[in-house]
């Protein structure tokens, strides 16, 4: 039998190495974090980019120049490379530092404004983002639109000088503390066979008249999620992001920044580090050492993949397939850490503990379902991979 091998698309971009300069930056960040921890300014937690909201800490990071790093200086940023930002964010996440307040603004809002925003919009928001003063939410999901995001029903109708917005967004992380979000809304009715047309992104001030923000408690009881209801909210014309009708393309571009970063495999890293602490000095058999080693091999490999995607994004490419793969593997890895942490150390999770292993474990267990849902579910991501393989 002769071989008839067709070719597969590249599943990962070429390996990337961090510039020497980024490694020097890493040393600075570690020193800063060691000082912060010594001062007891925070306790390491699982899933801090979701739940660790600390505006003072955010401002201290900004003072070091570690927010809005890739934003050009003329908009208050630092004009650094995305790989520099990568190093800072992975160090913060590994330390379990409270980064939630600025997370969305720093990760995706800055880049989106730079790509699609007007000069006035950039001047209005970017300096505040870089200063750690302006926080954003994500206004995509709705009660009847989750994975099928293009089916959103929130509608904006044209009025004098702007748009009148009515509808409901849901699962809005930090919506009760954020200043604004980009709402994905319908600006013209759906057309047969063109469901991605007629969508737009509006920059909505979450304190505007007609906006109601209601809490939805998480499994832990914490207030993180919100429902955001718009009742004829006036959005001025100059608060349309990009072009009217281009919302779908813009949103999918925004998601590319959301999928392959270090937060997609480090959400439970503080628990893994604590696990190593519990096991050091204990009499761990070969099976335990093997399980631990296998986890760290996965971590090492995931980080290399994620860095390769970051390198590719930094050179202006959009490696959608590779980003989906990182998120699928990475979020499953976050769950594997929890399994190992439970099986190798017999400490029941305790949500009431002040800190320590039992608390890290409790937070991880109760946050775990979200890992494989947020930012596009793993099943949906595998659909993207299947399309990349030419199967659909």
Ligand X SMILES: Cc1cc2nc3c(=O)[nH]c(=O)nc-3n(C[C@H](O)[C@H](O)[C@H](O)COP(=O)(O)OP(=O)(O)OC[C@H]3O[C@@H](n4cnc5c(N)ncnc54)[C@H](O)[C@@H]3O)c2cc1C
Q: Which is nearer to other proteins, 228 or 309 (CB)?
A: 309
Residues 222-261: x where in contact with other proteins by CB under 8 A, - otherwise, as a string:
----------------------------------------
Contact between 141 and ligand X by CB under 6 A: the answer reads yes
Rounded to an integer, what distance in angstroms lies between the CA atom of residue 334 and that of residue 264? Answer: 8
Bridge partners of 229? Answer: 168, 212
How many CB atoms sit inside 10 A of residue 22's CB? 17
Contact between 40 and other proteins by CB under 8 A: the answer reads no
Contact between 216 and other proteins by CB under 8 A: the answer reads no
Q: Which is nearer to other proteins, 19 or 217 (CB)?
A: 19
CA distances from 114 to 50, 59, 117, 119, 211 (A): 24, 22, 6, 9, 26
Contact between 204 and other proteins by CB under 8 A: the answer reads no
Q: Output the CA torsion 81→82→84→86 (10° steps).
A: 180
Contact between 351 and other proteins by CB under 8 A: the answer reads no
Q: Are 168 and 214 in contact (CB under 8 A)?
A: no
Q: Which of 146, 245, 288, 351 binds ligand X (CB under 6 A)?
A: 146
Residue among 38, 77, 33, 89 nearest 57 (CA):
33
Q: Are 230 and 204 in contact (CB under 8 A)?
A: yes
Contact between 72 and other proteins by CB under 8 A: the answer reads no
Contact between 268 and ligand X by CB under 6 A: the answer reads no
Contact between 379 and ligand X by CB under 6 A: the answer reads yes
Element (H, E) at 55: helix 55-63
Q: Which of 222, 279, 318, 347 binds other proteins (CB under 8 A)?
A: 279
Rounded to an integer, what distance in angstroms lies between the CA atom of residue 173 and that of residue 181? Answer: 10
Q: Are 135 and 14 in contact (CB under 8 A)?
A: no
Q: Quote the tokens at residue 52.
A: 């660790």
CB of 48 to ligand X, least distance (A): 13
Binding site for other proteins (CB under 8 A): 1, 3-8, 11-12, 15-21, 26, 83, 90, 94-95, 269, 272-274, 276-277, 279-280, 284, 286, 288-294, 296-305, 308, 311, 314-315, 322, 325, 328-329, 379, 381-383, 385-386, 388-392
């Amino acid at each position: 039998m002769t071989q008839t091998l067709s070719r597969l698309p590249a599943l990962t971009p070429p390996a990337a190495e961090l510039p020497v300069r980024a490694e020097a930056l890493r040393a600075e960040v570690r020193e800063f974090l060691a000082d912060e921890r010594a001062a007891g300014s925070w306790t390491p937690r699982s899933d801090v980019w979701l739940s660790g909201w600390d505006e003072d800490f955010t401002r201290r990071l900004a003072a070091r120049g570690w927010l809005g790093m890739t934003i050009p200086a003329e908009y208050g940023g630092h004009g650094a490379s995305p790989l520099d930002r990568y190093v800072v964010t992975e160090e913060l996440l590994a330390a379990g530092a409270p980064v939630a307040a600025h997370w969305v603004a720093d990760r995706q809002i800055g880049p989106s404004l730079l790509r699609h925003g007007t000069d006035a919009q950039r001047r209005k928001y970017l300096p505040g983002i870089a200063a750690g003063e302006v926080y954003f939410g994500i206004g995509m999901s709705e009660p009847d639109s989750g994975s099928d995001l293009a089916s959103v029903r929130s509608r904006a109708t044209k009025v004098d000088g702007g748009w009148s917005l009515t509808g409901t967004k849901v699962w809005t992380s930090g919506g009760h503390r954020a200043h604004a979000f980009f709402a994905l809304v319908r600006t013209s009715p759906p057309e047969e066979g063109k469901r991605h047309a007629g969508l737009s992104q509006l920059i909505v001030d979450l304190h505007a008249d007609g906006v109601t923000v209601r809490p939805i408690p998480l499994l832990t009881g914490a207030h993180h999620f919100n429902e955001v209801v718009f009742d004829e909210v006036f959005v001025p014309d100059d608060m349309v992001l990009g072009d009217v009708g281009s919302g779908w393309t813009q949103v999918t571009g925004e998601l590319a920044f959301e999928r392959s970063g270090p937060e997609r495999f480090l959400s439970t890293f503080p628990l893994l580090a604590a696990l190593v602490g519990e096991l050091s000095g204990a009499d761990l058999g070969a099976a335990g050492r093997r399980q631990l080693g296998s986890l760290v091999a996965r971590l090492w490999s995931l980080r290399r993949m994620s860095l390769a995607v970051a390198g590719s994004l930094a050179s202006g490419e959009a490696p959608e397939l590779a980003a989906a793969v990182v998120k699928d593997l990475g979020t499953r890895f976050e769950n594997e850490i929890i399994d190992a942490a439970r099986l190798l150390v017999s400490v029941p999770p305790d949500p009431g503990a002040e800190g320590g292993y039992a608390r890290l474990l409790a937070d991880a267990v109760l946050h775990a379902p979200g890992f494989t849902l947020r930012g596009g579910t793993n099943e949906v991501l595998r659909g993207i991979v299947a399309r990349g393989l030419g199967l659909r």
